Amino acid sequence: MAYFSKVLHICMKDLKVEVRSKERIYSMMVFSLLVMVIFNFAFDPGAEYIREVAPGILWVALIFSATLGLNKTFAAEIDQDCLQGLMLSPMDRTGIYFGKVISNILFSLIISLLTLPFFAVFFNIPLLDVLPQLVLVISLTIIGFISVGTLFSAISVSVKGGDMMLPLLLFPIEVPVIIAAVKATGMILDGAPMMDYSMWLKVLTLFDVIFVMIAFVTFEYLIEE
């Protein structure tokens, strides 16, 4: 129990920093909108095929903005040697990881929920009826993306040119998650019953479970000094 309260502390600290500075949420949101606007130029907005490419556009926007946020996860801790302080705090190192994962998931979820109405309006796609299913897929995807992403951002932050390293490392690993997310979203938008895309939900859940466990085991190797 004490472990969870410590994890919560780390998470609350990140949230508090964000509430005061607002730098992450702000830039993530603008970026995600920008991506959708740019896709509007790439694909003819009135075209019929837009419903087929829409899930892809949504996920490019969400994944890219999440990556933007991940880059900042540990960057703030490098300043003034905050990471050193965190490591000296009397808690299991994995607590730092889980605290950061939870705060990152919250940030990305907020961005996703804020992006959805714009997505619906920009591409003229009715979302209200399928919102619960969509939120389920988004949550599962974000957990999978952030769990590995937070781990890798601990690597990229202490590497020269790390901002560039993070997507290079992260995107190939996340291929199953991205495929599953795009496929499931497409089926949901088409109004398919859950039976049809339950396989993709399983892929997402499997990925989440496996990589949260791997991250739990490997994180302490990344921040020992």
In sequence order, the 6+-apart residues with CB closer than 8 A to the CB of 61 are 32, 33, 35, 36, 39, 115, 119
Query: CB of residue 32 vs other proteins: minimum separation in angstroms?
Result: 24
* Least distance in angstroms from the C-beta of 172 to other proteins: 4
Q: How far is the CB of 167 from other proteins (least distance, A)?
A: 9
What minimum distance in Å lies between the beta carbon of 129 and other proteins?
Answer: 26
Q: In the complex with other proteins, which residue's Cβ is closer, 27 or 176?
A: 176
Using an 8 Å Cβ cutoff, are 125 and 167 in contact?
Answer: no
In the complex with other proteins, which residue's Cβ is closer, 116 or 188? 188
CB of residue 189 to other proteins, shortest distance in Å: 17
The closest alpha carbon to 113, from 1, 221, 28, belongs to: 28
Please state the separation of Cα 81 from the chain's center in Å. 26
Contact residues for 3 (Cβ-Cβ < 8 A; gap 6+): 91, 92, 95
Comparing CB distances to other proteins, the nearer of 46 and 172 is 172
If the CB atoms of residues 111 and 169 are measured against other proteins, the closer one turns out to be 169
The candidate with the shortest Cα–Cα distance to 23, out of 59, 64, 73, is 73
Q: For 121-125, which contacts have Cβ atoms below 8 Å and span 24 or more sequence positions?
A: 122/36, 122/37, 122/40, 122/45, 123/36, 123/45, 123/50, 123/51, 123/54, 123/57, 124/50, 125/51, 125/54, 125/189
* Least distance to other proteins, CB of residue 135, Å: 22
| Nearer residue to other proteins within complex by CB, 145 or 211 | 211
Which residues contact other proteins (rule: CB under 8 A)?
148, 151, 155, 158-162, 165, 168-169, 171-173, 175-176, 179-180, 183, 199-200, 203, 206-207, 210-211, 214, 218, 221-222, 224
Per DSSP, the three-state class of 56 is helix
Q: Which is nearer to other proteins, 66 or 180 (CB)?
A: 180
